Amino acid sequence: MKHVAVESSNLASVAHDGDALLEVKFKNGAVYRYEDVPTHVHEALMAADSKGAHFHKHIRSRFKSTMVSPATKASS
């Protein structure tokens, strides 16, 4: 999956495999993979004015996640 940088105070980049996996890299370096995320949910995230707010409201607690990489730096 290819990550695309996003404008956000919390998210650094987002990737979707075109099927059901969504990866989110946070500004602190942590990467999480979310399962069973439909393409339309990814598209809505990428189109949102506030990607961080959209992620927290529509993705974070609604899809099963796995940490791929831990944080590499303290978040501000």
Total count of domains within the chain: 1
- Using a cut of 0.85, tell me whether the model's pTM lies above it: yes
Domain contains 75: no
Can you give the pLDDT at residue 1? 86
**pLDDT reading at 2 higher than 80:** yes
Rounded mean pLDDT of the chain?
A: 94
Can you give the pLDDT at residue 52? 96
Domain contains 65: yes
**pLDDT reading at 75 higher than 70:** no
Domain contains 53: yes
Domain contains 76: no
Domain contains 48: yes
Domain contains 22: yes
Cα separation, 4 vs 22, whole angstroms: 12
Question: Which residue range(s) make up the domain with 39?
Answer: 4-69
